[in-house]
Structure formats: C-alpha cells, structure tokens
Amino acid sequence: MNTSQNVAKHFREVFFGGNWTVSNLKGQLADVTWQEATTKVHSFNTIATLTFHINYFVDVTMKVLEGGELNAHDKFSFDHPPINSQADWEKLVNKALNDADRFADLVAKLPENKLWENFVLEKYGIYYRNIHGIIEHTHYHLGQIALIKKLVRLEANTQEPIDRKE
C-alpha cells in the first residue's frame, strides 16, 4: 500500500470505522433522529450543524482533487439547509458519507508526489497536510457529536432540562 492509499485508509476510518478510537461518523450518526440532530444544547452547535461543517471541508477539498477551483469560506461552513424532517436529516447524512467515500477514493488514486505539492496556493501548505487536517478536524468534531448525542439523550431519558443558552 502506498502513501496515498494509507492516507485514504486513515481518512476512511474516521468516517466508516476501523480506527483505534473505535468511533466513526457513520456509527455515531446511525441512530440519531432529526429531532436529536437539531436539538440545541447550551451554546454548542447541533449535531446537524457539525455534520454539515465536517462535510463542508470534505466537499470543497474534493472539488480541488477533481480538478476544480478551491472555493471555501469558513463563514459558510456552518450554514446548513433547514432540517425539518427525518428525510432532510438523512439527506444531509447520506451526502456526508457519500462524499467521504468519493473523497477517499480520490485520495487513494493521487500520485504520491502530489501529496508533497502545494495545495492550490503555497499559503495552504501541501496536499498531505490538508488531507490530514480534514482527518483531524473530523475527529475533533466527532468527539463533540458523541458528547452532544449523550447530552440530548440524557435529557430525553431524565426529563430534566439541560441548561440551554439559545
């Protein structure tokens, strides 16, 4: 297995399982309802917002891997479409997982020398750094999703309100 394939494997594991943290996005989201996904706890982002945010960076980076332009703005990375039903939620989750699968395939096919080239502009660093940054970013928000999910379910099971800040 070459470096590109190893990086793709590492990326795939945070989304689909097999990493040593034994937590992955697909597994964490598998049983989340749309109501849970949109429940606001404290001043935290919702599970839906974090799912969109994770996918935002996968999506914009994937466009570069496919030969397109980099068109990313952090200010838009939390602006997901409304989630008003289970179908809306499943659409968001399916997009995130399908994009992750496609992204991993693209990374696996990258010529190894491409990993060490600048990602679009020198100021963004190299491809390797950006792809690993997405993996790290996903792990970071995956932990948040796991905690928010527990808090939402704790409140639902105890019927005690969580201190919410709207």
Domains of the chain: 3-74+82-158 (1.20.120.450)
Angle at 137 between CA 82 and CA 18, to 5 degrees: 100
Mean pLDDT of the 15-27 span: 94
Q: For residue range 75-92, list pLDDT tens digits in order.
A: 899 999 999 999 999 999
Angle at 57 between CA 71 and CA 119, to 5 degrees: 65
Q: pTM of whole model > 0.85?
A: yes
Question: Taking the mean position of all CA atoms in its chain, how far away is CA 66?
Answer: 19
Residue 106 has pLDDT above 60, yes or no: yes
Q: Report whether 62 contacts 101 (CB < 8 A).
A: no
Of 2, 13, 1, 30, nearest to 104 (Cα)? 13
Q: Residue 162: which pLDDT band, with cuts at 50, 70 and 90?
A: low
pLDDT at 46: 97
Q: Residue 148: which pLDDT band, with cuts at 50, 70 and 90?
A: very high
Q: Which conformational region is residue 108 in: left (phi greater than 0), alpha (psi within -120 to 50 degrees), or beta?
A: alpha
Q: Report whether 20 contacts 76 (CB < 8 A).
A: no
Mean pLDDT of the 129-155 span: 96
Amino acid found at 27: G
Q: Residue 166: which pLDDT band, with cuts at 50, 70 and 90?
A: very low
Contacts of 94 (CB under 8 A, 6+ apart): none
Q: How far is it, in rounded angstroms, from Cα 152 to Cα 143? A: 14
How high does pLDDT run on average in the chain? 94
